[in-house]
Amino acid sequence: KPVQSKHVPTTYESHELINKHLQQYILLSGLVQPRALYMSSQAEYVAIKIDTAYKVMIKTTLGNRLRGTINALCNTCNRSAAIRADMSKRKPKPTEEQIKQAIRDQ
């Protein structure tokens, strides 16, 4: 038999304590427990929700990684900085929108 600390309640004792005060907690908090009807369809709904969230996350992550890789291969940051520096030296000074458009056109 394993030695148990006097300060840490066992799982059984914790469950007894919870069960002892559960009804009082439900009444005081106004908690409405869901009915356990059609649990299989509820589980299927939750599974579909999880699957959809996973697929969306994968698509988003893949898109971001792909975009980052393409930007790194094309040296986008350095090219944008060079265009911005070159255009800001011009007279008359171009607007921010004109600079952004020049970067997009490259």
Residues 53-87 pLDDT 10s: 999 889 888 888 888 888 888 888 888 888 888 88
Contact 56, 63 (CB under 8 A): no
Amino acid at 68: G
What token pair was written down for 49? 């929700």
Q: Tell me: the pLDDT tens digits for 7-27?
A: 566 777 778 888 888 888 778
